[in-house]
Amino acid sequence: QLPTGLYKKVLVILHDSILPYMNEPTLMIDFLTVAYGIGGAISLLALNGLFILIHQHNLEYPDFYKKLYSLLDPSIYHVKYRARFFHLLDLFLSSSHLPAYLVAAFIKRLSRLALTAPPEALLMVIPFICNLFRRHPACKVLVHRPNGPGDLSEDPYIMEQEEPSESRALESSLWELQSLQNHYHPDVAKAAAILNLSLSEIEDDISGLLELSASELFDKEVKKSAATVPLEFEQIRGLFGKKNDIFAEHFSLD
């Protein structure tokens, strides 16, 4: 039993400062699988070590994607480990052999959580979702339904369902991203509007967006040069601006 603070410190460095120097990295399987099951930030941090064991040491984790799916909650857009989590999530969802229902569940859940996400997170997750569509064309039914969201009387997606295969995500549509096309931040609205167009085959590079912060977004807006707007106006005549105003006979603007 480790204190929570120490638990996090160990997991942060485990993948690059501990596992590479172990003769048998597989000895960490139990430690990492238990950490992965705890939830919250500790589960996010355990992903790095698990990825190495799965990728390099043939670890089989039957419910891995189910657990990964359960980690998607509103906090993922706010935690300080956000960049690390989405980098690994991108790797885990990169295989073209994943079933469409699974990827659709991740797309739908990320989109639903995006409704309450800050702008800096939205500018990252929208291209992230577009990349998933490029890798898994079968999921484009979420965008290209015959009548769009209006084709559904209600959203069949079950947000509370822990099993991705039973969430009915493929029967749904991405009305959440369509609503973000009216977002108050113009860059977010512009990013969401790309779903109205046909996506290019080349994936977007999201590496520079993973650590985008609110202060960087604010500085970018402040440094924008304002366009010069030409104005036309009529020179004021009289108190209320009318040429033959009776008030002009009795009152002066001097």
Query: Does residue 134 form part of some domain?
Result: yes
pLDDT score, position 244:
67
pLDDT in tens, 54-94: 878 888 777 888 888 988 888 888 888 888 888 888 888 88
Is 174 contained in some domain? yes
* 245 located within any domain: no
Domain count, the chain: 1
Rounded Cα gap, residues 61 and 229, in angstroms: 60
The pLDDT of residue 234 is 65
Domain of residue 218: give its range: 98-223
For residue 211, tell me if it sits in a domain: yes
Residue 243, pLDDT above cutoff 80: no
pLDDT, tens digit (0-9, with 9 covering 90-100), for 13-60: 888 888 888 888 888 888 888 888 877 778 888 888 888 888 788 887
Is 115 domain-assigned? yes
Instruction: Give, as one character, the DSSP assignment of residue 240.
Output: T
State the pTM of this model: 0.75
Distance CA 102, CA 65 (A): 8
Q: Which tens digit of pLDDT belongs to each residue from 181-213?
A: 999 898 899 999 988 888 887 888 877 777 787
Radius of gyration of the chain (CA): 26
Q: Residue 20, Cβ neighbours under 10 Å: how many? A: 10
208 inside domain = yes
